[in-house]
Amino acid sequence: MPARSSTAQGTDQRDTGLSAIVRSSETLASVFAALGDPTRLKLVAVLCAGGAFSIAQLTANAEISRQGVTKHLQVLAQAGVVRDVKRGRERLWQLEPGQIDEAKRTLEIIGKEWEVALGQLKTFAESL
């Protein structure tokens, strides 16, 4: 049977983007949940500066204990946002940009969909 084009199947580019979001929604939800905490968001901001940081470096100017920072880093690691690397006796933490990039692409798709919906609403309102 010949393959049907995406137009013939009733889909378009927007469906592809939204379908991708739906397929990866559980993973994305864990990323957004992990980034939803102010302390974890601050840790990600520090790690965005580049390089790998030890717990001691990450807690140097923090109002949170090393144990607290470690727990936050573990949540971020489970979401795939950061990873740790052993160097000697130290555990260094660094950003894992893949999940952040995926979250960014998701927000861009949602933003485009929102713009389309607002455009349709505007056209409808102007037609009244």
CATH of the domain at 31: 1.10.10.10
pLDDT beyond 90 at 104: no
User: Is 4 domain-assigned?
Assistant: no
User: Is 1 domain-assigned?
Assistant: no
pTM over 0.85: no
User: Is 106 domain-assigned?
Assistant: yes
Q: What is the pLDDT of residues 52-94, one digit of tens each?
A: 999 999 988 778 899 999 999 999 999 999 999 998 989 999 9
Q: What is the pLDDT of residues 34-54, one digit of tens each?
A: 999 999 999 999 998 878 999
Query: Which pLDDT does position 114 carry in this prediction?
Result: 82
What is the residue-wise DSSP string for the chain? Answer: -PPPPTTTTT--HHHHHHHHHHHTHHHHHHHHHHHTSHHHHHHHHHHHTSS-EEHHHHHTT-SS-HHHHHHHHHHHHHTTSEEEEEETTEEEEEE-HHHHHHHHHHHHHHHHHHHHHHHHHHHHHHH-
User: Domain containing 107: what range?
Assistant: 14-127
User: Is 7 domain-assigned?
Assistant: no
pLDDT bin (cut points 50, 70, 90) of residue 16 is: low
